[in-house]
Structure 1
Amino acid sequence: MIGRSILIIVASLSLAQLAEVCPVAAYAQMPNATSGADNAASGASVTQESSQSAWPRATESQIGRLVAIHRGQTTPLPGIDQRADVEVCVARSLHAVDPGNRTWNPNDSRWDTMRTVISQDCAAQSDRIKNKVAPVVTKTYFDVLPRSYAAHLSSSEADDLIHFYESDMGRRYLAFQERLAAASMQGAARVFNEKTVQDLRAATPDTMEARVQILRLSTSMAMLIVATQDAHHTGGDSDSSGALVTRLMMNVTAASQGDELDRIGRAYASDLHDFGTFVDSPAETDELRALHEATDAAGKAIGTFAMEVSPELNGNLKRWRDLYRSLPHDEAASSVPK
């Protein structure tokens, strides 16, 4: 089990890779649909200047208390005890088998065989992630996090964060984050679902804007927003730093998990202003920088296992495509529009 802030590692990489084959990706380019996400990704009042020059720095005791708080947030990493992760893997892999097929038909009988084979491979991949990848990623994350806190937080900021997290408001905020993380994971599981596309088309701009503003308060999204802004202020390209991925992720989640986000919004309606004030505070901005550094290190740790878990690299995709081409083609089913 691992803290909620690391969820973005797998989620962002997966969505970036899926953009070309997922029809939802085009939605990120629609002006009305992306206005809220664009504002969140590029208009947040965040600057690169942190309080790194402020002294005294956060103490070892303060850092230990903050790390313990994040260890207590037990949202699992995708792939660990998550059936949804296998579903995402199957959906992504099915489309990857025949990506050039513009009339991709789920009723083609070949997909029954392919789904069975791919499900077995995805389940095996999930086990590898759980038993081999996750322990390394978790250790990397929590090895780096204390050092990142030491680099970014002053003692007064650490006190502010601890005081907030241990308050009634802070406990509600952490529960709010848990619900947002769960909704984001469920959204990832439905990214290829046809209903997601329908939801994207049906949602009004105002509805999407309200949901995106809630998502902007999530630790994972706020962390990316701060990193994107920092890259922009140092002359980096904001899209390559994560703005495009952030917009895509928020739009997909806002559409596919709209009902849950609406419920979260109603449940925490009286708290949202205070949550927003906290997320935009100097102390939390610097904490988000620390969380991003730890998350980035954990992401690099995941990269060392790419050969084992990537179908493109471990031979699974080639094997699936060979099997797909060898199966009898159901001409009647293939003629049925999707």
Structure 2
Amino acid sequence: MTRRAARIGAGIVLLCLHGPAQPVQPLDAPAFSLNAPAQHVAGGAAPVTPPDALQIERLLAAQQLKTSPALTHPGADAADEISNCAQENIGAVDPSNPNWNDKDPRWEPMRQTIALDCARRREERIKTVEPELQRMYRDALANSYAHRLSRRDAAALIGFYATETGRRFLAFQARLTTIEFNAMQRLARAGGAKAPASPATPAPDVMKRRTAVLLMSRQILLMLQWQSDAAHTGDDVSGGAVAPTMMSTTATLEGDAIDRIQKEFARELPAFSAFLSSKAEKNEIRALADAQLSFGKASATQLIKLAPEWNGDLQKWREQYRKLPASGVPPASAPTPQK
């Protein structure tokens, strides 16, 4: 995978990082300057005045930042999440062995060992990793707002988000983000190579209508922004098919959900479209795109803590597996789920 495609992939994984959630309190030590430098423009024009710190805080509050559901199993309780984690990882203990399955007497002891580590990593994720990721993304977005928006842009955005239409717009974006995330989850469960055989590919007119809705998704717009950036800078453009592929997959796998929100938000769609076409929102999309890319790079050290192949858990499991006899293995102690 190329660097550009990898960055786009990281953005997809973090789809819900800035969807509406419960409001959060401002975090300490923001990464943006309280007195951001003026933004200079070409042609000798007067410099653009950037947003002030209060405007940036209000924009961040409007987004109601939250951590990505990619880090957890939506709707699952602690016990289910730990069980799913163990099930997802146990095959990696001996992937080249066609007989490595639940018929092997070592399977259950290893499953319980992995579940214990899954429970420990879950607690670490909740207490340490998620808050740090949230802080990192918040700071990345604050920096992008400071560098990509003018004070006039910020005022226009704040004014829009304070309206009922603006609140509905954020709810609409959150729904689209969830739909896109669900589509990718379903695709991943199918093996990632192609969409499941059912549901069938929608008729062309249905696909066109659903795609029009998805083209109002800021996540899709971010991907298109990344592709445009790559084309203008001569960077790798091989990730350009990500947005069309994601729209096609989502329109197919989550078509009914798209149809429902199109009906629910039908009255506001023209206003949403006008807002997305505004200069202020285009600049905000630019800021969001920058923030996700910079966050994707900076967050790797945190995400490594959760990846068994990177944090040492997988190596430990394989070493324990090799020490177990092929029969007569005593069961390990089952983990106690942490609520």
Coarse TM-score class (shorter-chain normalised): 0.5 to 0.7
- Note if contact 2:65-2:134 (Cα within 8 Å) is conserved in structure 1: no
Q: CA deviation at 1:281?
A: 2.6
Change (3 A) 1:138 1:295: same
Where 2:297 maps in the other structure, the secondary structure is: helix
Give RMSD over aligned pairs.
4.1
Change (3 A) 1:250 1:160: same
Q: Spell out, residue by residue over 1:206-247, the C-alpha distance to the aligned partner (whole angstroms, 9 max, x if none).
A: 3344333323322222222212212211212222xx434434
* 1:71-82 equivalence runs, <5 A: 72-74=64-66, 76-79=68-71, 82=74
Quick check: 293-302 or 86-95, which moved more?
86-95
Partner of 1:68: 61
| Alignment match, 1:273 | 270
- Would you tell me which structure has more helix in proportion to its own residues? 1
Residue 292 of structure 1 is matched in structure 2 by: 289
Question: Cα 1:224–1:197, aligned 2, differ >3 Å: closer, same or farther?
Answer: closer
Alignment of 1:224 with 2:223, yes or no, is yes
Aligned to 1:32: none
**Is the 1:73–1:178 Cα contact (8 Å) retained in structure 2?**
no
For 1:243 and 1:322, locate their aligned partners in 2 and report how far apart those are by CA, in whole Å: 41
Question: Cα distance, 1:301 vs. partner?
Answer: 3.0
Q: SS where residue 299 of structure 2 aligns?
A: helix
Contact 2:49-2:150 within 8 A present in 1 as well: yes
Residues 1:62 and 1:116: Cα distance change in structure 2 (over 3 Å): same
Given that residues 12 and 249 in structure 1 are in contact (C-alpha distance below 8 angstroms), is that contact kept between their aligned partners in structure 2? no
* Partner SS, residue 237 of structure 1: coil
- Residues 1-338 of structure 1: pairs in structure 2 closer than 5 A: 12-13=12-13, 53=41, 55-70=48-63, 72-74=64-66, 76-79=68-71, 82-83=74-75, 93=89, 113=108, 121-194=117-190, 197-198=195-196, 202-204=200-202, 206=204, 207-239=206-238, 242-317=239-314
Task: Give the CA deviation at 1:202.
Answer: 0.8
1:133 shift after superposition: 1.5
Q: For the residues of structure 1 that align with 2:183 and 2:317, how far apart are their CA atoms?
A: 26
Structure 2: state its 5+ residue gaps: 1-7, 16-38, 42-46, 327-339
Given the two structures, how large is their TM-score scaled by the length of structure 1? Answer: 0.66
User: Normalised by the size of structure 2, how large is the TM-score?
Assistant: 0.65
Map Cα deviations across residues 34-77 of structure 1 (whole Å, 9 max, x no partner): xxxxxxxxxxxxxxxxx97362332333222212212x255754
Asked if the contact 1:80/1:129 (under 8 Å) is kept, the reply is: no
**Percent identity of the aligned residues?**
34
Specify the SS of the correspondent of 1:264.
Answer: helix
Q: Secondary structure at the match of 1:78?
A: helix
Cα shift at 1:248: 4.1
What letter matches 2:56 in structure 1?
I
Cα pair 1:152 1:290 within 8 Å, conserved: yes
Q: C-alpha distance in 2, partners of 1:266/1:91?
A: 39
Question: Using the alignment, how far apart are the partners of 1:186 and 1:226 within structure 2?
Answer: 23
Aligned equivalents of 1:145, 1:120: Cα separation in 2: 36
Asked if 2 retains the 8 angstrom alpha-carbon contact of 1:133 and 1:305, the reply is: yes
Equivalent in the alignment of 2:337: none
- Residues 179 and 257 of structure 2 are in contact (CA less than 8 Å); yes or no, is this contact kept in structure 1? yes
**Residues 130 and 124 of structure 1: CA distance in aligned 2, closer, same or farther (over 3 Å):** same
* Distance 1:280-1:56 versus aligned 2 partners, 3 A rule: same
Q: What is the CA deviation profile of residues 101-132 of structure 1, one whole-angstrom value per residue up to 9, with x for unaligned ones?
A: 9xx99x97569857766565545433332222
User: 1:79 is aligned with what amino acid?
Assistant: L
Instruction: Look at both structures and tell me which one has the larger radius of gyration over its CA atoms.
Output: 2
Letter in 1 for 2:70: P
| Structure 1 segments unaligned to the other structure (5+ residues) | 1-7, 16-50, 329-338
Is the Cα–Cα contact under 8 Å of residues 56 and 154 in structure 1 kept in the other structure?
yes
Give the Å deviation of 1:163: 1.9
